[in-house]
């Protein structure tokens, strides 16, 4: 059954890990459903529509990266926390490029996992009472979680949406990559600057010449123009 805070789907083939994840997540009020391989996990996401997914990369049948790729191709933007056994930048960047909202590397603290799940869900919800924001040809609706370019919908991941929303809330303010990691992703890691670059690149590709994101060489990023609420 779904918990009061929503259903978290865990897709992981190591039983001792899922038992620990389930224990800590249920203590925090989440409902938990577990699948042990890629095909079953993909089917469960489509069937159950969970609030968030904790998705292991190394799965039998269909690896986590492929599960994520198929989800995003289908237009399913359920928040996904990717789990990898290797602490390598290439693995993290691959997952983020495919549309993951965050990641953890094994071994990890179950408390950290719960904290990251909460952060992903909180980011997806956005600040309460926030108004529509328009900059140039871009319109962002924080309540409906929609993004329009020239009046047409643009499909973005939860984290792409949150990054753009954060920049638009502070027009012309320049943020370093470390500041964006802290304020958008919810953690600080100087090694994670590449993560920010990946998301900015993806947003620019989707928004084209309507993108309001400006690179400040040697510093970071800002949003041009004043956002109209």
Domains and their CATH numbers in the chain? 7-125 (3.40.50.2300), 133-223 (1.10.10.10)
Length of the chain: 229
- pLDDT tier at 162 (50, 70, 90 boundaries)? confident
Alpha carbons 30 and 32: distance in angstroms, whole number: 6
| pLDDT score at 98 | 84
Using pLDDT thresholds of 50, 70 and 90, give the confidence band for residue 186: low
Asked whether the predicted pLDDT for residue 226 surpasses 70, the reply is: no
**Tokens 């984290």, residue located:** 159
Query: Where does the pLDDT of residue 131 fall: very low under 50, low under 70, confident under 90, or very high at 90 and above?
Result: confident
CB-count exposure of residue 101 (10 Å: 0-12, 13-18, 19+): buried
Q: Above pLDDT 90, what percent of the chain?
A: 46
Average pLDDT over residues 194-208: 92
Distance CA 176, CA 222 (A): 9
Whether residue 137 has pLDDT greater than 90: yes
CB 228 within 8 A of CB 133: yes
- Arithmetic mean of pLDDT over the chain: 86
In the predicted structure, residue 143 carries a pLDDT above the cut 80: no
What order of strands is seen across the sheet that includes strand 175-176? 175-176, 220-223, 213-216
Q: Is the pLDDT of residue 1 over 50?
A: no
88 CB contacts (<8 Å, ≥6 apart)? Answer: none
Q: What pLDDT was estimated at residue 209?
A: 94
Token pair listed for 125:
């919800």
Please state at what angle helix 38-48 crosses helix 64-73, rounded to 10 degrees.
30
Say what the pLDDT of residue 213 is: 96
- C-alpha separations of 191 from 13, 98, 135 in Å: 29, 20, 31
Question: At 25, is the pLDDT very low, low, confident or very high (cuts 50, 70, 90)?
Answer: very high
Percentage of residues of the chain with pLDDT beyond 70: 88
**Burial of 161 by CB count in 10 Å (0-12 exposed, 13-18 middle, 19+ buried)?**
buried
- Categorize the per-residue pLDDT at 121 as very low, low, confident or very high, splitting at 50, 70 and 90: confident
pLDDT of residue 140: 92
How sure is the predictor about 191, in pLDDT bands with cuts at 50, 70 and 90?
low
Model pTM greater than 0.85? Answer: no
């Amino acid at each position: 059954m779904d918990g009061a805070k929503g259903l978290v789907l865990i897709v992981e083939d190591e039983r001792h890990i899922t038992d620990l994840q389930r224990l800590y997540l249920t203590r925090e009020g989440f409902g938990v459903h577990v699948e042990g391989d890629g095909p079953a996990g993909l089917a469960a996401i489509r069937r159950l529509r969970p609030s968030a997914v904790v998705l292991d990369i190394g799965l039998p049948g269909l690896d986590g990266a492929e599960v994520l790729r198929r989800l995003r191709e289908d237009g399913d933007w359920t928040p996904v926390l990717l789990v990898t056994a290797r602490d390598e930048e290439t693995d993290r960047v691959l997952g983020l490029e495919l549309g993951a909202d965050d990641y953890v590397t094994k071994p990890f603290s179950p408390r950290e996992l719960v904290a990251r799940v909460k952060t992903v869900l909180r980011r997806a919800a956005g600040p309460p009472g926030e108004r529509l924001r328009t900059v140039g040809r871009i319109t962002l609706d924080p309540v409906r979680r929609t993004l329009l370019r020239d009046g047409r919908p643009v499909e973005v991941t939860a984290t792409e949406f949150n990054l753009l929303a954060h920049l638009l809330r502070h027009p012309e303010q320049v943020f370093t990559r470390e500041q964006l990691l802290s304020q958008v992703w919810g953690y600080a890691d100087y090694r994670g600057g590449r993560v920010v670059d990946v998301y900015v690149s993806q947003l620019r590709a989707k928004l084209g010449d309507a993108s309001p994101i400006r690179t400040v060489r040697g510093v970071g990023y800002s949003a041009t123009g004043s956002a109209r609420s």
